[in-house]
Amino acid sequence: MKSLRIWCAALVAGLSAAGAQIDTVQTVAPGVYFHQGDIRRGHSNNGWIVFEDFVFVIEANFPSGAKVVMPKIRETSDKPIRFTFNTHHHGDHAYGNQLWADAGATIVASNGVLEEMKTAETGFFGGAPGRWEGAAKGRPDVAQSKLKPPTLLFPRELFFDDGKRRVELRWLGVAHTKGDAFVWLPQEKILFTGDACVNGPHNFLGDGDVTEWIKTLEAAKQLRPEKVIPGHGPLGGPELLADQQHYFIELQRRIRALVDGGRSPAEVKAALADVATDLKSISNIARYVPASLVAQGEKVYREMGGELFPK
């Protein structure tokens, strides 16, 4: 829980004046919309797709984020919201589920999302208090709601097709979490990535696997999207996938050099300021470097067999 709070603080610290599109609706294609969430409030990005008979929403957001975006969806379509999709189990993407369910939506996710919820939301599933209870202490919107797990699940893919529009939900491998899934519109060449790809210093690595994440991003690149909608930050093109992947590769490379050089955990930690400066010198990935590289550096170091950093 502590690492997730540190990540949320880094999200706010990394927010720049470039976020002029925050909390505005952008039309990505006819009937396909993007809403950039206000990270200062912990909100994720949202998307929605208008089918002939219903609306399909991407991300439940936090409850407060759901309340921001719901009326904006109504401004674009009067069709019922039948489905809300969780790209993964984190609170800023799934804690608003109950509001969407109350509005008539079925909550959709990969099998991995529910499995991850069972390990993180232990209070809901009969164990000790989990992340929900931790979030509720600091967020009135969470405290006033209740956890709603997804009920429509799929192992690797699930397709929606009304003859006019096709949406494909795809699990491409472990990334930001074990359950991450993408939303692919093959006709429009639009890819919604959740937090498997973000646009800015918004990465939380604690529930992922960076080596597998790089492979999953490669699989996403093979779809050849023309527009990429990240989990946080402004929308972009296929360069977002390439840049996100490149950042992880370069981060791994520098941590590996420290490991191969026999550096101790304390020495690796001390070297991270220079690593961050080095990464910021690479123009296409500089925006991914967080205010502090300690959490990300420790995660990559431990994946390479290292120990926890000293406090």
Give 74-121 pLDDT, tens digit per residue.
999 999 999 999 999 999 999 999 999 999 999 999 999 999 999 999
> What's the angle, vertex CA 146, arms to CA 140 and CA 149, rounded to 5?
135
| Residue 18: per-residue pLDDT | 44
Q: Are 168 and 157 in contact, with CB atoms under 8 Å apart?
A: yes
| Residue 33: per-residue pLDDT | 98
d(CA 158, CA 154): 6
* Mean pLDDT of the chain, nearest integer: 94
Write down the domain spans for the chain. Answer: 2-237, 250-303
| Residue 178: per-residue pLDDT | 97
* Cross-strand pairs, 35: 25, 46
Encoded amino acid at 196, one letter: A
* Per-residue confidence band for 19, with pLDDT thresholds at 50, 70 and 90: very low
* Cross-strand pairs, 166: 161
| Angle, helices 294-303/265-280, rounded to nearest 10 degrees | 120
Condensed to tens digits (0 to 9), the pLDDT of residues 35-80 reads: 999 999 999 999 999 999 999 999 999 999 999 999 999 999 999 9
d(CA 45, CA 180): 15
Is the pLDDT confidence value at 13 over 90?
no
Strands 190-194 and 182-185, sheet pairing: antiparallel
How far is Cα of residue 11 from the mean position of the Cα atoms in its chain?
12
Q: Which fold has domain 2-237?
A: Metallo-beta-lactamase; Chain A (3.60.15)
Q: What is the CA radius of gyration of the chain?
A: 19
How far CA 221 is from CA of 78, 182, 192, 287, in Å, comes to 34, 12, 12, 20
What H or E segment, with its residue span, contains residue 118?
A: helix 111-120
d(CA 311, CA 240): 34
Other C-beta atoms closer than 10 Å to the C-beta of 302 total 14
d(CA 18, CA 10): 16
| Residue 20: per-residue pLDDT | 56
Tell me which of 6-10, 237-241, 274-278, 295-299 is least confident: 6-10
What H or E segment, with its residue span, contains residue 85?
A: strand 81-85
Is the pLDDT confidence value at 7 over 50?
no
